[in-house]
Structure 1
Amino acid sequence: MIAIHNEPPGPEGAWGIANVADFHADPLRFVTRCAREFGDVVRLGQDNYLLCHPRDIEHVFVNSQRSFAKETGQKPTWAKTGSYHHALMHTDGKDWLYKRRLLQPLFKRDRVDTGAEPIVAAAEEMIASWRPGEVRALEGDVAPLSAQVVGRFLLGSDLSANEVQRVTSFLAWSFRPLPIRIPRWLPTPRNLRFRWSVLQFDRAIYGLIERLRERSRGSSNLLELVQQARDGEEGCLAPPWYPRDELAIMLLAAHQPTAIALAWTLYLMALHPEVEARVAAEVKQTLGDRRATAEDAERLVYTSAVIKETLRLYPPVWMTARDSLQEVELGGYRIAAGVSLALSPWVAHRDPRWFADPDTFRPERWLDGSLEGLPKYAYFPFGGGPRLCMGAWLAKLALVLVIATVVRRYRLTLAAGAKVTPFAAASFLIPQGVRLVPTART
């Protein structure tokens, strides 16, 4: 029988300000060090723990509607770490179930597959502006592409990169997980910037809603569905400002991770020319002279492995969290109600217990049988359990089709002097300094 302990270990200063400073100085290094030094359950701060074992991560995800809630879910409004708490991603219980069922049809695979042609068209539009030999700052390319994909798929309308950026940029900085929570009412520089950003955001999102309202009437898209939710089931929270909340969070969740994942994938392919050459050969053999289609997402096996390996090394969402609603036992420790539990794909995906040479980019690991028996939640780039990301297939399809479109025309190499680093902003793992040079294929 495993002994049950009351208090997991953690780094020095876990009850004071030291961990906040360490976390902000280098969040990725901090959580990695905590996992390696202290084990599968780590005390990061008062009532804040990090879970590292797939067994415990699975327990939290699978029981998310009974024993655990979203990090912003079961708290009074003043205590929540972010705003827009009526959106699906920030709700729990009956309210979450109603909204999930309402929005799920948008992401059914047959509907997603119909978006393949617009995705390829957007990719072709992106590379049409490239010139062989010129240095491309990739974030300036993938943001407009992702904006087009999200706008056309979710809203049936083209969105400019600037429009999406205005709607979502401050959210990406406002939900950064903290070992110790700072109340929103404190006049810290972070909170003052948040309040100013909320005002700017409201202008952008309400302007977007007004522009789309007449155009989208009668069609099956995100705006139409969230407007229906205002007259939803009794007990579900869908006030007049619910469309603002849902559009903001859904645009953020669909736009930001897709752009991030695409940038990381193209960067890693440029860094490993042998991988890029194999992807290009597979695409040429599979497609010939035709454009990629939804069916090709299954046929491009090695390309898909490259994407899976990218999501392992650089998961766009590097950390998520749940709150315990009741006392539970995890990893041999008694976890009280009201504790915040951090779950980090960055930590799990680089754990040497599950992945040999975990810091090495090796797409073949997904094809050679070496990952047979991999614990289910040793790899969770799209979350898991009932709250598994609805847009997972859309993201995978977009990545495969865009990469296939790019490699048919260009080979990408790193620009001279380019130094690429991951930046953990909010929950997102943003690549900084991705500068690539396209060379036309002959």
Structure 2
Amino acid sequence: MTAPHGEPPGPEGMWGIANLADFHADPLGFVTRCAREFGDVVRLGQNNYLVCHPHDIESVFVNGQRSFAKATGQKPSSPKTGSYHFALMHTDGKDWLYKRRLLQPLFKRERVGASSESIVAATEAMMACWRPGESRAIEGDVAPLAARLVGRFLLGSELSDTEVSRVTSFLAWSFRPLPIRIPSWLPTPGSLRFKWSVRQFDRAIYGLIERLRERSRGSSNLLELVHQARDGEDGCLAPPWYPRDEVAIMLLAAHQPTAIALAWTLYLMALHPEVDERVAAEVRHVLGERHATAEDPDRLVYTSAVIKESMRLYPPVWMTARESLQECEIGGYRIAAGVSLALSPWVPHRDPRWFADPDAFRPERWLDGSLKELPKFAYVPFGGGARLCMGASLAKLALVLVIATVARRYRLTLASGAKVRPLATASFLIPQGVRLVPRTRL
């Protein structure tokens, strides 16, 4: 057995700030260049590595509870506005395991399937605002749609227009593009607007909790379960404001990737009319005149492949991280305790070793048998291992039903002059400038 090497190779960067400037200037291009130039484990800076090979990604995800942590550091001692550190997503160890087991029943197959009718109805309501020939900023349509779907599913109640507005406003200002990085303490118009959106979001969350508190007694929804966690077993870190943290993060984590995936998929279908027409033909053949149901994703094979290919090219969560808890070996390199490991689905998803012609949009690759030998963790739009996204089944169902419902009525084309680009935030790959024109399907 070969002894592990020392530090992996990587770009030198600038003294004092390592590679931060290059990363912030072009995050997607930077990680792509690093992987292709330096290999499957890349040193980005002191105690900061990029992990690119599917086998190593699998090792980190699968061994996550023993050797790696997602969240470390001191938890706040008060309910700080805009900080939700006690939510499941931001916890580890015994605390994470207890909350995960408690919340997992929310995503039972029968419960997910029962949401199909509301998904289709909400999509029809979204399209009722469309006018054939008028361009739409599609992010502005799918974000409220996803917020309503998630609110209904998790909380058992429709979000009000005000609550939807506060959720989507918070997201828009959280991930706004800036030409330069400005300290958050400077009272610029942008930072003031962001702080206002955070306060409004917190108001929406507290309002939701108050509105549902009495109505949800004994029912199986997120609010009832987080109250159980707050009053749960010894060792579970659940302060009095834990319900706020969990409701906020569940809404964001379930809503944002779904909205992003919908926007990218509709954009790619608009760019590729032959794909759009094949989806529409499949929908007509499978559904006829009826609405889509929870059983239809298995029948809408090509539509599902289109969504998988969209999430390969534009994974909604393009970056996540783990911190090593003890010395270990990754990709033949010795990793010390306390090292931050960046895991980016963007890199293996566009690696020619795993996907032929990786930058091309080819849904057929998921159907023609060419991916039979694909390593398991070369395609990870929902993460993997013990921390596989709990809401993956809900997201997959919603994506297929929304796309099928839109495709049966409208053909979407890219608006004249639209300039589309991906904005890579800390975690999400936000579509910018997606303006589409709905045209009635003949």
Task: Tell me the TM-score normalized by structure 2.
Answer: 0.92
Match of 2:74 in 1: 76
Shift of 1:419: 1.4
Letter in 2 for 1:264: W
Stretch moving more, 410-419 or 394-403: 410-419
Residue 172 to residue 4, structure 1, CA distance change in 2 (3 Å): farther
Is the counterpart of residue 279 in structure 1 residue 294 in structure 2? no
SS in 2 for 1:102: helix
Shift of 1:77: 2.9
Determine the C-alpha separation between the residues in 2 that align with 1:145 and 1:17.
40
Determine the C-alpha separation between the residues in 2 that align with 1:165 and 1:131.
22
Shift of 1:167: 4.0
Shift of 1:197: 5.9
Shift of 1:211: 2.1
Determine the C-alpha separation between the residues in 2 that align with 1:165 and 1:22.
34
Match of 2:122 in 1: 122
Determine the C-alpha separation between the residues in 2 that align with 1:372 and 1:112.
29
Match of 2:363 in 1: 363
SS in 2 for 1:37: helix
Match of 2:408 in 1: 408
Residue 127 to residue 174, structure 1, CA distance change in 2 (3 Å): closer
SS in 2 for 1:437: strand
SS in 2 for 1:95: helix
Task: Tell me the TM-score normalized by structure 1.
Answer: 0.92
SS in 2 for 1:152: helix
Determine the C-alpha separation between the residues in 2 that align with 1:411 and 1:329.
50
Letter in 2 for 1:99: K
SS in 1 for 2:255: helix
Residue 136 to residue 333, structure 1, CA distance change in 2 (3 Å): same
Matches within 5 A, 1:357-436: 357-436=357-436
Matches within 5 A, 1:146-295: 146-160=146-160, 162-164=162-164, 166-167=166-167, 170=170, 199-295=199-295
Shift of 1:209: 1.5
Contact persistence 1:164–1:251 (CA under 8 A): no
Match of 2:9 in 1: 9
Determine the C-alpha separation between the residues in 2 that align with 1:339 and 1:109.
37
Contact persistence 1:172–1:426 (CA under 8 A): no
* Cα offsets for 1:360-387 (capped at 9, x unmatched): 0000000001001100100000000001
Match of 1:62 in 2: 62
Residue 188 to residue 333, structure 1, CA distance change in 2 (3 Å): farther
Residue 170 to residue 5, structure 1, CA distance change in 2 (3 Å): farther
SS in 1 for 2:20: helix
Shift of 1:129: 1.3
SS in 1 for 2:411: strand
Match of 2:339 in 1: 339
Residue 174 to residue 61, structure 1, CA distance change in 2 (3 Å): farther
* Cα offsets for 1:89-110 (capped at 9, x unmatched): 1111111111001110100111
Shift of 1:196: 6.6
Shift of 1:426: 2.6
Shift of 1:164: 3.9
Shift of 1:192: 7.4
Letter in 2 for 1:256: Q
Determine the C-alpha separation between the residues in 1 that align with 2:175 and 2:237.
22
Residue 253 to residue 372, structure 1, CA distance change in 2 (3 Å): same
* Cα offsets for 1:111-155 (capped at 9, x unmatched): 100000000000111111111111111011101211111111111
Determine the C-alpha separation between the residues in 2 that align with 1:246 and 1:15.
40
Structure 2's unaligned 5+ residue stretches are 77-81, 177-182
Matches within 5 A, 1:304-343: 304-343=304-343
Letter in 2 for 1:75: G
Match of 2:48 in 1: 48
Determine the C-alpha separation between the residues in 2 that align with 1:295 and 1:112.
11
Determine the C-alpha separation between the residues in 1 that align with 2:330 and 2:161.
43
Determine the C-alpha separation between the residues in 2 that align with 1:167 and 1:129.
20
Determine the C-alpha separation between the residues in 1 that align with 2:170 and 2:369.
42
Structure 1's unaligned 5+ residue stretches are 177-183
Question: How many residues matched?
Answer: 432
Contact persistence 1:175–1:427 (CA under 8 A): no
Identity %: 81
Contact persistence 2:143–2:168 (CA under 8 A): no
Contact persistence 2:18–2:45 (CA under 8 A): no
Determine the C-alpha separation between the residues in 1 that align with 2:15 and 2:91.
29
Contact persistence 1:15–1:46 (CA under 8 A): no
Match of 1:180 in 2: none
Contact persistence 1:409–1:440 (CA under 8 A): yes
Contact persistence 2:144–2:168 (CA under 8 A): no
Shift of 1:277: 0.5
Letter in 2 for 1:322: R
